[in-house]
Amino acid sequence: MSLLGSMKPSDGTPAVHIVILNWNGGHTLCETIDSVLSSDYPHTNLIVVDNASTDGSDVTVEQQFPAVTLIRNDANLGFAAGNNIGIAHALQKGAAYILLLNNDALLDQAAIQTMVTALGTDPGRGAIVPKIRYYRPGGEPTLWAAGAEWRRFPPRVTMRGYGERDVGQYDRPGAIDYATACALLIRRETFQQAGLFDESYFMYQEDYAFCDRIRGGLKIWYEPQALVYHHVSASTGEGSPAKWHHWAKGISLFYIQHYGSRARAIAPLTTFLLWVMMRELAKGRLAWFRPFWRGVRAGWAEL
């Protein structure tokens, strides 16, 4: 399959294919789809890839949204492999741009147009990430992520603005180190350079590994005028044992790939893991310990 070239409607506006990966998304999936269908962008195609949901959310999509392309997987393939199926389908259909969107994230009406405009301004931009706020109707605007950056100590990727009240402190657009795939608009040609997601990852950190490959020749751009609202961890549950396991496994994989070898990764990874342990123990949390370390060992051994 060639990843080069793109199809545009007769008015020249690039087609955007939105890929939503679903696993037991429940009512939040319907809200996400509604937000896409309410977008003011004129040329969108919506693809829902279902990772063998057991809550009937795939049936709901089929019945309530017949215009949506629904792809059913026979098993839960995880985030990387599940999204790759949707991305490959979109590329085959000639998508100029592909928007990856979590099944618990809601688009502002103008978000797609704003991101497309920002991406089209500079061919050196490989992907655009919006400003992402927590979904808290009626509450203070609170940031979930304004892009992400690398910090030297402890060595890690950290989401900018996480948990901060949004008072405009991240309203300046610009190139950033990393972006979450919660909502990420990617140029077709970017996949030619970076490939698809690494399926060694089941869930978490695969987007940061993908960003490392994008930055081999393209920029990741943060566009604060595009807004997305995030329910946060609707599938696994915030702080659940499953989340800790998959997160820790992804951390091990990411550090090995980011530093280029196990030998180079061991010191920064150990530093980061000790920092996480002290942070969680200081909060009196203990339930995370076993799934966390099982994940670390699994990631270290699997790559």
Lowest mean pLDDT among 77-91, 139-153, 212-226, 283-297: 283-297
pLDDT at 206: 96
User: Tens of pLDDT along 173-216?
Assistant: 999 999 999 999 999 999 999 999 999 999 899 999 999 999 98
Report the pLDDT value the prediction gives residue 73, as an integer from 0 to 100: 97
% of the chain surpassing 90 pLDDT: 80
Give backbone dihedrals phi and psi of 80, rounded to 5 degrees, phi first.
-65, -55
CA distance 112 to 44: 9
pLDDT the model gives residue 13: 82
DSSP β-bridge partners for residue 89: none
Q: How confident is the model at residue 287 (pLDDT cuts 50, 70, 90)?
A: confident
Q: Which pLDDT tens digit goes with each residue over 87-140? A: 999 999 999 999 999 999 999 999 999 999 999 999 999 999 999 999 998 889
- Between CA 146 and CA 139 the distance in angstroms is 19
| Contact status, residue 127 vs residue 190, Cβ threshold 8 Å | yes
Q: Please say if the pLDDT value at position 4 is more than 50.
A: no
Across all residues in the chain, what is the average pLDDT? 92
Length of the chain: 303
pLDDT of residue 5 exceeding 50: no
> Alpha-carbon distance 195 to 213, whole Å?
8
Taking the C-alpha atoms of residue 270 and residue 177, their distance in angstroms, rounded to an integer, is: 22
Residue 233 scores a pLDDT above 80: no
Domains in the chain: boundaries: 16-230, 241-302
Q: What is the CATH number of domain 16-230?
A: 3.90.550.10
Residue of higher predicted confidence among 157 and 10: 157
- Least confident range of 105-119, 225-239, 259-273: 225-239
- What is the pLDDT averaged over residues 14-23? 96
DSSP annotation of 233 reads -
Using the predicted structure, report yes or no on whether residue 255 has a pLDDT greater than 80: yes
Average pLDDT over residues 275-302: 86
Distance CA 72, CA 91 (A): 18
pLDDT tens digit sequence for 52-97: 999 999 999 999 999 999 999 999 999 999 999 999 999 999 999 9
Q: How far is CA 85 from the centre of its chain?
A: 15
What is the residue type of 209? Answer: A
Instruction: Find the range with the poorest average confidence among 91-100, 142-151, 280-289.
Output: 280-289
